[in-house]
Amino acid sequence: MENKLTIFDVSGPFREPREPVFSYDYSVQRANWATPHGIRVKVSIPDELDVLRERLLGPVSGSPGQQLVIGKVLSRTIADWKVKVAEAEGMMVERRDVMLAPFVGPLSHLFQKMEVLFEQEKTAVREEIRKRVGL
């Protein structure tokens, strides 16, 4: 695929004001684009992060610092999965696509596709969290 999406950099998470989401800013480029392009990926805390955290780890206790690291690792992983799903769906073909909203409401059908990635990679994500947090 010669027009493959290449991710150069990711920054975040950022807490969005007035929205229960974390966001990440991706710098991406395709071979036919002259310069990299910025895309903001939003991860809904109650509808994506909390749902997948519960399914991955169950009821987890730990210090506030441990909870922060878990949230950071898992929200970044979810953002990466969302980029993969959006790319497969052809959502980021044009440079005008600058925001990837949470997979709820009109985009809820994409959450099911993200769940497939979750099922494939949940063991690796659980191990990453165990190494970084110690739970």
pLDDT category, 9, cuts 50, 70, 90?
Answer: very high
Higher pLDDT, 134 or 69: 69
pLDDT given for residue 5 in this prediction: 86
In a domain, 40, yes or no: yes
- Give residue 16's domain range: 6-133
CA 21 to chain centre: 11
What is the rounded CA–CA span in Å between residue 10 and residue 12?
Answer: 7
In a domain, 92, yes or no: yes
**Of 67, 72, 18, 13, the residue nearest 41 (C-alpha):** 13
**Of 30, 10, 35, 19, the residue nearest 93 (C-alpha):** 30
pLDDT given for residue 62 in this prediction: 78
Q: Give the tens place of pLDDT for each residue, 30-77.
A: 888 888 889 999 999 999 999 999 999 888 777 888 999 999 999 999
- Residue 66 phi, psi dihedral angles, 5° rounding: -65, -40
Residue 24 above 90 pLDDT? yes
Give how many domains the chain has, as a whole number: 1
User: What pTM did the predictor assign?
Assistant: 0.92
Q: Give the tens place of pLDDT for each residue, 65-124.
A: 899 999 999 999 999 999 999 999 988 877 777 899 999 999 999 999 999 999 999 999
In a domain, 24, yes or no: yes
Tell me if 79 sits within 8 A of 41, measured CB to CB: yes
Q: Where are the alpha helices (DSSP H) in the chain?
A: 50-57, 64-88, 108-133
- Amino acid making up residue 23: S
Segment 14-38 mean pLDDT: 91
pLDDT given for residue 69 in this prediction: 92
In a domain, 110, yes or no: yes
In a domain, 1, yes or no: no
